[in-house]
Amino acid sequence: MSEHIKLSIDGLEVVTQKGRSILQAAGEQDIYIPTLCHHPDLKPAGVCRTCMVEVAGRGLVISCKTPVEEGMVVATDSPEIDSVRRTAVSLLVTNHHDDCIGCAADGHCALQNVASYVGVTRDALNRLRRPTRSVPVDTSNPFYDRDMDKCIVCGICVQTCKDLVGVSAIDFAFRGYDTTIAVPGDKPVITSRCISCGECVVRCPVGALIPKSRELPARLVKTICPYCGVGCGIVLGVRGNRIVNAEGNRDCATNAGILCVKGRYGHGFVGHADRLKTPLIRRNGKLSEASWDEALSLVAERLATYPGDAFAGLSSAKCTNEENYLFQKFVRAVMGTNNVDHCARLCHSPSVAGLAQSFGSGAMTNSIAEVADAQCILAIGTNTTAAHPVLATRMWAAVQRGAALIVANPKEIELCRWATLHLRQRPGSDVALMMGMARVIVDEGLHDRAFIAQRCEGFEELQKSLSHYDLDWVEKTTGVPKQKIAEAARLYATRKPAAIFYAMGVTQHTHGTDNVLATSNLALLTGNAGKPSTGVNPLRGQNNVQGACDLAALPNVFPGYQKVTDDAIRRKFEAAWSRPLSPTPGITHVEIFHAIHAGRVKALYSMGENPILSEADANHVREAIERLEFFVVQDIFLTETAAFADVVLPAAAFAEKDGTFTNTERRVQRVRKAVDAPGDAKPDWRILCELAQKMGVTGFDFSSPKQIMEEITSLTPQYAGITYERIETNGLQWPCTGPDHGGTQYLFAEKFSTPNGKAQFKPLDYRPPAEDPDEQYPLVLTTDRSLYHFHTSSMTGRVEGLVAAHPEERLMINPIDARALAVADEELVEVTSRRGNTRVRAHVTEICPAGVVSLTFHFANAPTNELTIAALDPVAKIPETKVCAVRVQKTGA
Amino acid sequence: MKQLEAARKRAEADWTKLRESQPLVMVGTATCGRSAGAVEVLNALAVEAKRRKLVVKFIEVGCIGSCYSEPIVCVQRPGEPAVVYGNVDTKSAVQIVAAHLGNGEPLAAHALGTLGEGSFDGIPNLWMQPFFRPQVRRVLRRCGFIDPRSLDHYLATDGYKGLEKALSMAPEAIISEVERAGLRGRGGAGFPTFRKWRFCREAPSEQKYLICNADEGDPGAFMNRSVLESDPHAVLEGMIIAGRAIGASTGYVYCRAEYPLALERLRASIADAESMGILGNDVLGSGFSFHIEVKEGAGAFVCGEETALIASIEGHRGMPRTRPPFPAISGLWGKPTIINNVESLASVSLILQNGAAWYAEVGSEKSKGTKTFALVGKVRHTGLVEAPMGITLREMIYDIGGGILDDKPLKAVQTGGPSGGCIPASLIDTPVDYDSLNALGTIMGSGGLVVMDEDTCAVDFARYFLDFARQESCGECVPCRLGTTQLMQILEDITRGRGTPSDIDLLVEMGEAVKKGSLCGLGQTAPNPVLTAIRYFREEFEDHVLRNRCPAAVCKEIISAPCMHACPIDTQAATYISLIAEGRLAEAFDVILADNPLPSVCARVCHHPCEDKCTAGKWGKPIAIRALKRFATDAAKAAGIYPDKKREPRRGEKVAIVGSGPAGLMAGYQLARSGHDVTIFESLPVVGGALAVYIPAYRLPREQLADDIRHIQNAGVQIETGVTIGVDISFAQLRERYRAIFIATGAHAPSAMRIPNEDAEGVIPAMAFLKDTALGNEISIGKRIAVVGGGNAAIDAARSALRTRGVEQVTILYRRTRKEMPAFEEEIEAALEEGVRIEYLVAPVRVLADSGRLEGVECLRMELGPLDASGRRRPVPIEGSEFIVELDTLMPAIGERADTPFLPDSIEKTRWDTIATCSETFATNLEGVFAGGDVVTGPDTVIEAMAAGKIAASMIDRYLRGDPVRRSYSFVRPSLYLPGVTLTDEEIESADRPKMERIPVSRRIHHDVEDEIGLARDQAVAEARRCLRCDLETEHACEALRRQAGDAP
């Protein structure tokens, strides 16, 4: 219970909570106290001195930093206050180069507001001396400019960068009047480690930090960011039919207003000239424009000739829940096959497979907001600041509150700056590492015996299997000193609540499922499951990869992970859809291409996927596509894959349609239309409906996504309680089983989703990666993501600023390897694997350990996946894109 | 504890043995000594001792504080008192070894004083020396007397006894002891130390910290450095005691990296204390553990602020934070933390060792104990001083400090460094304690005292201190970051002559707001120097902004060159000097004549305020400007050049001037040149007023005066002699006939001595005697003459008397010493040469007369007492010292008064009988009537009278033109800039002010033979080339020179 405090402000009796500042107490009563350096997201700085008030018996104090006390008598204005305030404000205005007319902040400038409140007059200013310093505007950043002449050195940007984002790219520099905000060396900001998240820009109270795009929106539309799985709420600013900017949605539980560079500045692709505007049909080997009627008739006609398993569909983790539902319904109900999958296969299929075994359900167990309250965070195989930047800020918050952060990653990623420990395991040795930790925990008796006894099964088997993980062997296998492993184990086992986060570094292996099981073993051993701020938390890569899985863009289940092999379930769907359904699970993503090669699949329908770049061993994929008899691609751009299609259907982008996305924490959130799609492009759900109708199938006469959602909830128990009305302002986290169910913040509070409700320990054997380096291919190639790009860059590659920030592929290579190969930084090299080769420039850096090189897969002109190996995890069928053997050579040109 | 006991016994035995077994030489090698060459001196001493095969023990010690006498060497032979030598160089070091160590004869010439029992002839005891006598040395007691690197020396001198005592006491008892002692924080704010400690002690936390703030950063402060370098264990001891009192087990010394020697000695001392078990786990077996770590700061002034210091130790940028929470509750790493200054901690060990009662014996009521000060600036004896709280600034400056350099008047003292403020000379009887200083708007600070003389400009020194604070501002809060800069810019503008009348109020307004609004102590005190400067020297600020004057002649953009600025009639001294340097004499004379119609006069009798402010005089001798003027004037006149100045077209306005002295002549000349019809009425038969009748002809030959008067008449001025207003023409008639009148009749009425019988026959006012002499009247004054007074009139009278027939002996009676004598130095010297006797410290008390005829005068001897308001020591009669001087004539020369019986009652006068005028315009209360010169000011100098005439003329001109009668002030700017000259090495080597030669004394028997011989041409040119050409340093000059250079082909 919080204590109440009574005080008087300007003669008004005010009751507030203990611990509040005078400024907060006044704000609660709508009593205005001017401030310039205060921001509700940040700790009070107390440097602008304009929030000064008078407390009886104490004199002048700054209200932002003075806590309320019982019986305090506060005056927010007096001649003395006025003299201090007026002086401070006059000084700032005078030093501000007085350029309101040309200033982007004009009209919403805090200095203007405060100056007008205080009543700073031109006469008063004319008595003062003008500034002696003027610096040119720093335009080096692709997204925002820094005009230090307008800076009032309030420090909000510094605090934002340091405390909120954890980057500390900027800080105070110099002394006295020369004090300014600068990056190291007072160089242009682009040279710093600024991640262009723009959080400082939105918080700048004046016009010192200004977005490059300064057009003001005419209306605002709340929707969800189309990039990673964090699912940040964004507010699109729209003018005419154009998106002019994006802001974080402060009401959104996921991000509370925080955005990353892509979320804030990455929407230029929506209105890009490259957008597909009409359907295209291949005529004489060339794609040419066609009408919807022509195109859909053609598709309907051709698809009718490939019923059943000769057909396969690739759904899209970028499309809405409704569209994924419709797509799999189309595949199952119209085409009569379960051959539907999507790219989750290439990222988190081991999570689904692994966590289903141990917990009974494969999704992030806990919530994003809980991260900040964890006492220990094990981040393994996740480059969180690059791939899930906004979630990383919650990790930073936890670290600032004293949490231990253990980073397990072969590369010295940005996250290591905050880390208590960095375990630099060899790529592919994760099982050894985590089982080694488990061994320490059990050996030292740090496991949670009560939890294990009450809620788990299989501990003895696990304990037995741990005997293989002698720490000396673990050290040898992982390359991590055993003391460090032990230290990590102790931290993880003793600092509770402890949460595990992982991403592709864990899953994209031939032993990806084992890796996932290793994480759940650790969580179960220490009782870190079924409680807030604990759990095993796979970080999903795409905005709606969770939803695409939930809504069954998977070959083995109906929506809500209801097995296709379960007769009762199947009958339920047959009844609902009025069609007979196949009882045989379909084939997976990689298997589809094998099946094409084998001639079993002849027609493929790809909605929003670009496998030619995203799939491991891409050459193999391209050859498969070339073998297809009929290939339909539905997308917003003519992607590398679409170029091979027989028919291309132009789709609407995320901002051009309504629907829902489900983010990585299982939160179903509303997506809203902000602008009209270009030309004849249509939302994917509408295209699917029209096609099905063309094929004469009923059950596709939806007039809105809302209607589709109603059908979804009627068939999917974990979505049962979700309606558009309920998620109008904030999403709901599944399971949400009924209209009165408030959603589930963290899973397994009472019981696990396994048949008997108990979590399962899984003994594990260590298996090395499929392809070890050898004399011919001596280096390990691992793949990574850039903060500035997304997936195959079909979107980010069309945003000018993002391209400027990260224009081309770079091979990260350790100086030791570079020296051995006589490769200099920026030098062009050829990277060759058994499957292909690519040419890129080298980036010599210690981020990569010796023996390991790294590439992203964002660039079509340097297709990394032509190098990777399609060796599959036996359970999840995910290819091992994180490890393959390569050779690096200098090239002539 | 036992181990310490044994160590102390051994140390004490060694300490005694050290002084008894062999000669001991201690050399002060703290940073101050080193910079003065102490290490070289030490080497020289050692080499010489070795050469002489003398067995001598050398010890490097810290600093005894007398910076003015660095390097300092102390020599002691067994059984003899020690002798402290000052200003030792490698040469005198050799002499000291030879004389004192070799022959047992101390070198009195270099000795500062003796120490210990016994004495040497001619060498006073050191502690009886003025610099040391008023001091009470407690914190500094070991400084300069022990080897700071020796724990043994510390133990032998009662070191760590306070700690031993403290370890036997409960922590709360330690705090109570400090409370009873009344110790207040020596870092500046004066917060009671015990209170802070108790807060911390009572704060609930396992972990607490103690920090010793050794981040001394004020300009001119070095108290802490001296203690750290000279007696580091004293600080460590205080820290351990404080740690025990507050419950801390870890202490930090935060010391700036600019103090490498202090850091080195601290670290070594910590290691020694650790090995002795004084520091570390289980201090001296007491169960209490304490560790000390040294943290180096990067030298940011703001890190002296507690919270910024904490941030710095934590590894952040040194930025302060708002309090509360106070560090005593939440400090380093969020734990309760006490931060004490070096001196506070050094005092703590003393309090514990000697008890609170002992500590509180000295000091003032609310500020107990002693305080160390760094006394710097324009005092003779700069140094590190420790004095009881409550000592007055006067004692500090005049006793300890030995007075102001060159005996210039004190202007102000800055206390508390850049966070403090100034105290004007009028308030130097203020006791130095926390509360008295606060009441004056300044602070004690850590004890910096910067003494300033009259050559310091109030605006400029405020700017200097503010600039420091401005640069050291961390930039965090708005008022400090921008406010100090704004204040600085305004002050900068004022010193550059760009200030506006409202700026002074703006400075006060903004200064107050910065004080109230700033986040930390830096900003809250930064405006103090400005605010106190305005509080005590507002008029000087107004001089800058309203009158374009810098009275101290410092602000170069206003003054152009100090010599020009100092001249009341704006003579372009620098310009004619530079012309003389190039041998362009005719042009030089032209420049002189431009502002001065009496060049021949001023070249001989001007008291040359220009030379007093001459920059060359700050480090050497000022340029002989008057001599140069005479040279140029004489040379031009010898060449027949005396050009008439161009007149403006005549306008027929009639102006009457009453009196033909320097004021009247100047006014007449200026008005005539402006086109007016000017008539000067002179009641005497000769023209020139005081110039003609009071200044003896041997100083100002009459033909020289006549040249200048002729020149003035050529400009159109009518002079009617023998016309007395009120007798020949009434004042009313004068007003009827003339549109404007300028009264410049001077001051002639003699002042009374106010002693019995002063109306006796034979008592003649000096001025009357001079006038009779000048007019050639018959005079008989007898053989024995005495003149009373010390001004130029007294000397003139005495020297004239010597030249009068029959006179055998002339004595001047003066009540102070020669140092205080207002007459020109060269005149006094000439008088002495000629045989005038001067009796100093003598005051006549009674004229002895027989039947109304003077027979002699009874005098009293005086001695100099305490200082008066002018900063001079007041003469006080010595009782029973009466003596009689037998005389034929007694001439009082103690000043004259204005004498204006001819004026109507309707004209307003002052209570001194001078005419009351507007100080700006010289207008009287009567329409069209102006007055100036001595009749307004009382007796003053020729040049001031001329200045009055010049200003009055311009006011009268405005009046006649119908313009508002108002002064306008412009900068003094030369009409011509000549590039500087380059001196050869020989020239630089031989450059010196030439002495103005006089004819031999034997030939100085006539009144009308000029005794000064002017400079020879080569002398004059060499002297002119010695000029530092301050006039070229302004922006205006640089611009002009650039233009000239650009124009050149």
Structure confidence by residue, pLDDT tens digits, A710-765? 999 999 999 999 999 999 999 999 999 999 999 999 999 999 999 999 999 999 99
What the block records as the tokens of A45 is 């700085």
Inter-chain CB proximity B482 and A127 less than 8 Å: no
Contacts of A171 in chain B (CB under 8 A): 317
Closest CA to B425 of B390, B454, B402: B454
Closest CB to A176 among B481, B503, B517: B481
Instruction: Decide if pLDDT at B1048 tops 60.
Output: no
> B210 forms bridges with which residues in the sheet?
B251, B338
SS3 content of chain B, % helix, strand, coil (to 5): 45, 15, 40
Min mean pLDDT across A208-222, A869-883, B707-721 is at A869-883
Q: Diameter of chain A by CA atoms? A: 90
How much is the average pLDDT of A650-678? Answer: 96
Contact A483, A451 (CB under 8 A): no
Query: Dihedral angle at the C-alpha atoms of A860, A864, A865, A871, nearest 10 degrees?
Result: -170
How much is the average pLDDT of B329-343? Answer: 94
- The answer, yes or no, to whether the previous bond of B622 is cis (omega within 30 of 0) is no
Contacts of B479 in chain A (CB under 8 A): 49, 84, 87-88, 91
d(CA B747, CA B896): 6
**Full DSSP string of B560-575:** SSHHHHH-TT---HHH
Which ranges of A642-715 would DSSP assign to H, the alpha helix? 684-694, 705-715
Residue B21, Cβ density class (10 Å: 0-12 exposed, 13-18 middle, ≥19 buried): exposed
Kindly state the DSSP code that residue A198 receives in the 8-state scheme: -
How much is the average pLDDT of A851-877? Answer: 89
How much is the average pLDDT of B224-241? Answer: 96
Q: In degrees rounded to 5, what are phi and psi of residue A405?
A: -115, 120
Inter-chain CB proximity B512 and A132 less than 8 Å: no
Closest CB to B486 among A83, A128, A172: A128
Our measurement of the distance from residue A44's CA atom to the centroid of its chain's CA atoms, rounded to an integer in Å, reads: 29
Size of interface A-B (CB pairs under 8 A): 110
d(CA A482, CA A486): 6
pLDDT band at A612 (very low <50, low <70, confident <90, very high): confident
Contacts of A155 in chain B (CB under 8 A): 476
CB crowding B586-621: b at 16 or more within 10 Å, else e: ebbbbbbbebbbbbbbbbbbbbbbbbbbbbbbeeee
> A546 forms bridges with which residues in the sheet?
none
Residue A892: per-residue pLDDT: 65
Contact A298, A283 (CB under 8 A): no
Residue B99's identity, in one-letter code, is A
For residue range B970-1003, list pLDDT tens digits in order.
888 899 999 999 999 998 888 899 988 889 988 8
Contacts of A177 in chain B (CB under 8 A): 470, 473, 475, 481-482, 484-485
What the block records as the tokens of A17 is 């909570």
d(CA A447, CA B641): 114
What the block records as the tokens of A725 is 């009305």
Residue B460: per-residue pLDDT: 95
Instruction: Decide if pLDDT at A105 tops 70.
Output: yes
Instruction: Decide if pLDDT at A1 tops 70.
Output: no
Inter-chain CB proximity A178 and B513 less than 8 Å: no
Best probe of the B interface among A94, A175, A178, by most B CBs < 10 A, is A175
Inter-chain CB proximity A172 and B509 less than 8 Å: no
Run of H or E including B768: helix B766-775
Closest CA to A880 of A780, A732, A763: A780
Contact B88, B37 (CB under 8 A): no
Inter-chain CB proximity B516 and A60 less than 8 Å: yes
d(CA A318, CA A314): 12
Contacts of B493 in chain A (CB under 8 A): 129
**Full DSSP string of A559-587:** TTTEETT-HHHHHHHHHHHTS----S---
For residue range A166-188, list pLDDT tens digits in order.
999 999 999 999 999 999 999 99
Q: For tokens 């034979």, what's the residue? A: B762
For residue range B1026-1040, list pLDDT tens digits in order.
999 999 999 999 998
d(CA A132, CA B485): 10
Best probe of the A interface among B305, B480, B486, B495, by most A CBs < 10 A, is B486
pLDDT band at B1049 (very low <50, low <70, confident <90, very high): very low
d(CA B738, CA B724): 16
d(CA A553, CA A317): 9
Residue B689's identity, in one-letter code, is G
pLDDT band at B873 (very low <50, low <70, confident <90, very high): confident
d(CA B1011, CA B1009): 6
d(CA B302, CA B296): 14
pLDDT band at A306 (very low <50, low <70, confident <90, very high): very high
d(CA B460, CA B411): 13
For residue range B754-791, list pLDDT tens digits in order.
999 999 999 999 999 999 999 988 888 999 999 999 99
A84 CA to chain B: closest CA distance, Å? 5
d(CA A151, CA A206): 7
Q: For tokens 């309320």, what's the residue? A: A68
Angle ∠(A147,A149,A154) on CA atoms, nearest 5: 90
Handedness of CA B124, B130, B132, B133 (dihedral sign): positive
Closest CB to A47 among B500, B516, B519: B519
Closest alpha carbon within chain A to B518: A49
Is the pTM of the predicted complex or chain greater than 0.90? Answer: no
Half-sphere exposure of A726 (CA within 13 A, CB side): 21
Closest CB to B513 among A48, A62, A84: A84
pLDDT band at A362 (very low <50, low <70, confident <90, very high): confident
Q: List strand residue ranges (DSSP E) for B781-914, in order.
A: 784-788, 809-813, 837-839, 842-850, 853-867, 873-877, 883-886, 889-892, 896-898
pLDDT band at A893 (very low <50, low <70, confident <90, very high): very low
How much is the average pLDDT of B515-544? Answer: 95
d(CA A586, CA A314): 12
Residue A418: per-residue pLDDT: 95
Residue B333: per-residue pLDDT: 92
Closest alpha carbon within chain A to B470: A176
Closest alpha carbon within chain A to B300: A175
- For the question of an ipTM over 0.95, the answer is no
Q: For tokens 């930073």, what's the residue? A: A396
Closest CA to A784 of A883, A876, A851: A883
> B406 forms bridges with which residues in the sheet?
none
Min mean pLDDT across A14-23, A597-606, B499-508, B776-785 is at B776-785
Q: What percent of chain B has pLDDT over 90?
A: 80
d(CA A395, CA A397): 5
Residue A268, Cβ density class (10 Å: 0-12 exposed, 13-18 middle, ≥19 buried): middle
Residue B881 touches partner A, C-beta closer than 8 Å = no
Best probe of the B interface among A87, A90, A96, A168, by most B CBs < 10 A, is A87
What the block records as the tokens of A400 is 């600032």
**Distance linking the first and last C-alpha atoms of chain B:** 88
Give SS3 for B4: helix
Report the range out of A134-138, A233-237, B29-33, B296-300 with the highest average pLDDT.
Answer: A233-237
B257 Cβ contact partners less than 8 Å away, ≥ 6 residues apart: B263, B296, B297, B298, B299
What the block records as the tokens of B1026 is 């010695």
Contacts of A62 in chain B (CB under 8 A): 322
d(CA A705, CA A325): 10
Contact B30, B226 (CB under 8 A): yes
Give SS3 for A657: coil
Contact B569, B943 (CB under 8 A): yes
d(CA B929, CA B932): 10
Contact B897, B751 (CB under 8 A): yes
For residue range B117-169, list pLDDT tens digits in order.
888 888 999 999 999 999 999 999 999 999 999 999 999 999 999 999 999 99
Average model confidence (pLDDT) across chain A: 94
Contact A878, A507 (CB under 8 A): yes
Angle ∠(B420,B424,B430) on CA atoms, nearest 5: 80
Contact A262, A790 (CB under 8 A): yes
For residue range A227-267, list pLDDT tens digits in order.
999 999 999 999 999 999 999 999 999 999 999 999 999 99
How much is the average pLDDT of A64-89? Answer: 94
Angle ∠(B99,B102,B103) on CA atoms, nearest 5: 65
Inter-chain CB proximity A175 and B509 less than 8 Å: no
Run of H or E including A524: helix A512-525
